[in-house]
Structure 1
Amino acid sequence: MTPPRRLLLLSSLAALIGLAGGGAAYVLIHLIALLTNLAFFHRVGWTLPSFTGLDPSPFTVVVAVTGGLIVGLMAKWAPVIRGHGIPEAMEAVLTNQSRIAPRTAVAKPLSAAIAIGTGGPFGAEGPIIVTGGAIGSLLGQVVRVSPSERKILLASGAAAGMAATFGAPLASVVLAIELLLFEFSTRAFVPLVVASSVAAGMHSAFFGTGPLFAVPHHDFAGLSVLPLYVPLGLACGGLAVLINRGLFAVEDGFRRLPVKQFWWPAIGALGFACVGLVVPRVLGVGYDQISQVLTNRLTLETLAVLAVAKLVAWWVALASGTSGGTLAPILLISGSFGALLGKLAEQVPGVHISPGAFALVAMAATFGAATRAPFASIVFLFELTRDYNAILPLMLATVVADLVAGALMRDSIMTEKLTRRGLRVPSDYHADALLTTSVGAVMTPKVEVVPVNAPIADVAARFRADGHGAYPVVDGDGRCVGIVARGDLLREGDWTDESPVGDVAARDVVSVSSTDAVSEALERMLEEQIEHLPVIDSGQLVGMCTRTDVMRARRSQWSQEQAEPGWRPRRRRPQ
């Protein structure tokens, strides 16, 4: 259990991280707006422009490729900026004690601003999340904290980045737990809440309440139409599989190119810019396009074209290693897909649904299935709608989509890159059997002991006869006064075969009680580099705990997962 003072320290640091995350969101979004206005509309502006009215020209391609070349140069200095960055943050948590290089906090937002400002079909939220995580990690490297506490600060920064972008603090906390934290505890939950709350407050101050796109009220039509969200969930699960596998295939194509990695962002920029020449709506962050989808302003044909064009442009851009996010593009693609299905369902006699409601539910279902973070997706869209009537459709469709994606995909969009590097990411949370099992439940109660005055020759004979590695040494009252191991008898010393074993036994006995958790016993074994621990209650030796006994706790946990025969009625034998 974390001491209150330590928890207060982590919470105070999390508040600072929340302020920094909110400031990073404000700066990055306005920098993207400035670059976009300058590059495409030749004006100075601090609000994100819409690409709907853009008159595309060859200059559009020049701007995008220039941005790609700049990002390629920056990637030479900071390779971590490639892609959306969340896999790299996960890798830092799992393999590098949550340490992120200081340059990431500068290079990631700057490269994302350049990539998105020159037309990249990304959202700003991904780079802001990574920037917040980098700020948390840096603070955790300056202040004296443990690697586990640094992980909490990193996750707090990531949650602050998402909360500062969308004004959804609860979903930010859940997403950080599902993707980055790999634990759920009070010491982690409280700082996450603090950082997210502060960042969400800054979002309200900078951007107003609600997300950066319009989320109107929709009629979810009650329980009578709830079954319609089952096929929507199935379709969204298939869409998530298509999104992920398509991205992995395009990434594999880039790896096969006979050119240096430096040129990949420029090649990707050429690709998405060509798509933008045909469908300008796909360029940029796309928040305004999400608003149009949710407000049901687009025709059936426009929705179909927008979904396909955005998907292709985003595939090419992200696979090239350009810096950008995943959330907004997936929301736009899946929202267009859901609205399209909703409009088609409207034409069925007797079906009364809102295409915008289908679009919202499709966003949650697809993003949850693609990232394997269904709970965060449900909470996120609920926070955006603030409509309790949306809960049942969101839950049903998201769970169905997650089941489909889980059956057809081994990795999510967040973990595939790490799997290729040989790193497996935990996806489920379980109660640790070592924390919930007592030493008394796994120890060996019948312990062979040697008296403190037994001759060394007799003890050596027992070692040769039974193969034990160590014996507890007890006095006449049965109290453990030492422990003798095979190695103790091999050391040179001023003793003979007739000397009492107490002369060579280790007197500083490291022990545990039968009520201690097995995790505590394992921790002491690792700290002292020993294989055996005497179990002592009230001064009396009651057992011995070895590493084999520790594994017995894991075996008990494994046995809980094995299927047992169900109940069957007994057949009466005829008389």
Structure 2
Amino acid sequence: MSKSSFKTLILIPVTIGILSGLVSAAFVETIKYCTDLFLVHFVGYTQPYPAGEGMQNDTYVFFMKHSYILPISTCIGGLISGLIVYKFAPEAAGIGTDAAIKAYHSDDADLSLKASFVKFIASAITIGSGSTSGKEGPIALIGAGIGSFIAKIFNLDKKERAIAFAIGLGSGVSAIFRAPLAGAIIASEIFYTEDFEMEPLVPGIIASIVSFSVYGYFFNFGTVFGTNIPVFDKLNIADFGIYAIFGIICALVSMFLVYTFFEINDLFKKIEIKSYYKTAIGGFLVGLIGLLNPIIIGNGYGWIQLILNGRIDIVNIYMIASAIPLIVLSMSLTIGSGGSGGVFGPSLITGGLTGAVFYFGLIWLFPSAHISLQALVVIGMILVFGGATKAPLSTIVLVSEMTHGYELLVPTLISIVVVMVMGHNRGIFPSQIEKRRDRLREI
């Protein structure tokens, strides 16, 4: 291996992977600290967590001691995070992944460490205070900032800078999702609605594996959600129809999510006040919605885990069904107001809830139907996420890595084809472009 190949295929990806893994672990711990400060001590509410984050939900009981304080918590969180972003890095506002995509398509594919650090702090406060947001989007921006920083350290040329930027984004996502292959593919796919970057793929896989390994050292190497997916020995014609119909429903939900987000985002743009007042207003409204349904508080992964565990005694069908529009609304208020966070998590949760509602509806219509709640929840998460982000390939890989198997691959393929065919051209990331420019081939 030549010195140049060693640098681009080993040294830089490994360096980016190590830093992304360390920062991802620190980000998760900071979110936990903010959650303890705002929700546990201030509001008196302990949210459920997914199995991959170490909490056993078999004995979980919902309780909120000071429910009236929740809107105050989310309002204060929105105000603080909004002030931090406004004062230090306005480019860190809103969707983390979209900010990274926008920077990638700039001439230099450059993202400052300051913007990444501001995103780190502001997003931890936003999520920790109870507003509806995901941690995957912020870590995508943070990882991209790490890649950009390493590119400067090694004095890389234009082509290599773009590759380092992309693999930094993917390695951050791979750690949080605990899905190294999907993270690497996201780094090649997320920048376009109908295209794919090949050059970052191989170094991206290396960086993502390293990042996943570092992150797993501090936490664990298991999947985010603990669930037993039934083995599909065979699929009949009826099953194909069921998953095709499910794909149609998830496509409609993803379109509703995208439409609602942009409508609320546009509404806040018309309000002529300081940006941090907007994030405070958005946070307060989200807190009020949280009083109606606690699933929308924070990132909501623990509630999906309860559904996967069959804890219908805590999270019933009415709670699940109402949470779908409420999560879309509260996520749109959080991020659309300029709050710092991401849409990966809320779109996954919305899809999982859609899968649960579809399951209960199917069982009500056809009591003898042989269908799995767990399968529909996981596939629903992937479909709405894929439809909103316009990233079908990484979506297909993600379902296998999330479940540690290929049992759901065929049903997912059936449904995702329907989602992508039906889906609107506009995704949740406005900075995505349709086709790739040949920038990475320019020296």
Q: TM-score, normalised by structure 2?
A: 0.88
Unaligned runs of 5+ in 1: 419-423, 433-518, 528-575
The residue number in structure 2 matching 1:8 is 6
Identical positions, percent? 28
Alignment coverage as a number of residue pairs:
419
Quote the offset at 1:180 in angstroms: 3.6
The equivalent position to 1:208 in structure 2, one of 217, 220, 241, is 220
The residue number in structure 2 matching 1:18 is 17
Kindly indicate whether the alpha-carbon contact (under 8 Å) linking 1:220 and 1:357 is maintained by their aligned counterparts in 2: no
The equivalent position to 1:355 in structure 2, one of 357, 361, 373, is 373
Quote the offset at 1:404 in angstroms: 0.6
Whichever residue aligns with residue 433 of structure 2, its letter is V
Instruction: Give CA deviations for 1:416-469 in whole Å, capped at 9, x if unaligned.
Output: 2x3xxxxx713469xx8xxxxxxxxxxxxxxxxxxxxxxxxxxxxxxxxxxxxx
Change (3 A) 1:88 1:257: same
Change (3 A) 1:221 1:283: farther
Whichever residue aligns with residue 345 of structure 2, its letter is A
The equivalent position to 2:308 in structure 1, one of 294, 297, 304, is 294
Asked if 1:269 is matched to 2:277, the reply is no
Whichever residue aligns with residue 36 of structure 1, its letter is T
How does 1:529-540 map onto structure 2 within 5 Å? none
The equivalent position to 1:331 in structure 2, one of 341, 348, 352, is 348
For the residues of structure 2 that align with 1:184 and 1:95, how far apart are their CA atoms? 16
How does 1:523-534 map onto structure 2 within 5 Å? none
The residue number in structure 2 matching 1:425 is 433
The residue number in structure 2 matching 1:194 is 206
The residue number in structure 1 matching 2:186 is 175
The equivalent position to 1:158 in structure 2, one of 159, 164, 169, is 169
Change (3 A) 1:218 1:428: farther
The residue number in structure 1 matching 2:58 is none
Whichever residue aligns with residue 410 of structure 1, its letter is N
For the residues of structure 2 that align with 1:309 and 1:291, how far apart are their CA atoms? 19
Quote the offset at 1:154 in angstroms: 1.0
How does 1:400-479 map onto structure 2 within 5 Å? 400-405=418-423, 409-414=424-429, 416=430, 418=431, 425-427=433-435
The residue number in structure 1 matching 2:328 is 311
Quote the offset at 1:34 in angstroms: 1.0
Quote the offset at 1:209 in angstroms: 2.0
For the residues of structure 1 that align with 2:336 and 2:233, how far apart are their CA atoms? 40
For the residues of structure 1 that align with 2:324 and 2:296, how far apart are their CA atoms? 9
The residue number in structure 1 matching 2:131 is 120
Quote the offset at 1:121 in angstroms: 1.2
For the residues of structure 1 that align with 2:351 and 2:142, how far apart are their CA atoms? 26
Kindly indicate whether the alpha-carbon contact (under 8 Å) linking 1:125 and 1:327 is maintained by their aligned counterparts in 2: yes
For the residues of structure 2 that align with 1:392 and 1:342, how far apart are their CA atoms? 18
For the residues of structure 1 that align with 2:226 and 2:331, how far apart are their CA atoms? 22
The residue number in structure 2 matching 1:141 is 152
Quote the offset at 1:324 in angstroms: 0.8
Quote the offset at 1:246 in angstroms: 0.8
Unaligned runs of 5+ in 2: 50-60
Instruction: Give CA deviations for 1:401-420 in whole Å, capped at 9, x if unaligned.
Output: 11111xxx232111x2x3xx
For the residues of structure 2 that align with 1:346 and 1:404, how far apart are their CA atoms? 26
For the residues of structure 1 that align with 2:25 and 2:246, how far apart are their CA atoms? 35
How does 1:371-386 map onto structure 2 within 5 Å? 371-386=389-404
For the residues of structure 2 that align with 1:58 and 1:327, how far apart are their CA atoms? 28
Between stretches 97-106 and 55-64, larger displacement belongs to 55-64
Quote the offset at 1:341 in angstroms: 0.5
Asked if 1:66 is matched to 2:64, the reply is no
Quote the offset at 1:252 in angstroms: 1.0
For the residues of structure 1 that align with 2:358 and 2:233, how far apart are their CA atoms? 16
For the residues of structure 1 that align with 2:168 and 2:284, how far apart are their CA atoms? 33
For the residues of structure 2 that align with 1:121 and 1:91, how far apart are their CA atoms? 23
The residue number in structure 2 matching 1:553 is none
Kindly indicate whether the alpha-carbon contact (under 8 Å) linking 2:229 and 2:407 is maintained by their aligned counterparts in 1: no
Kindly indicate whether the alpha-carbon contact (under 8 Å) linking 1:365 and 1:402 is maintained by their aligned counterparts in 2: no
Quote the offset at 1:114 in angstroms: 0.9
The residue number in structure 1 matching 2:55 is none
Quote the offset at 1:255 in angstroms: 1.2
| Greater percentage in helix | 2
For the residues of structure 2 that align with 1:305 and 1:411, how far apart are their CA atoms? 25
Between stretches 303-312 and 393-402, larger displacement belongs to 303-312
Q: Which has the larger radius of gyration?
A: 1
For the residues of structure 2 that align with 1:117 and 1:374, how far apart are their CA atoms? 30
For the residues of structure 1 that align with 2:102 and 2:82, how far apart are their CA atoms? 22
Change (3 A) 1:48 1:80: farther
The residue number in structure 1 matching 2:38 is 39
Kindly indicate whether the alpha-carbon contact (under 8 Å) linking 2:22 and 2:215 is maintained by their aligned counterparts in 1: no
Instruction: Give CA deviations for 1:358-415 in whole Å, capped at 9, x if unaligned.
Output: 111111111111111011111101111122221110111011011111xxx232111x
Q: TM-score, normalised by structure 1?
A: 0.69
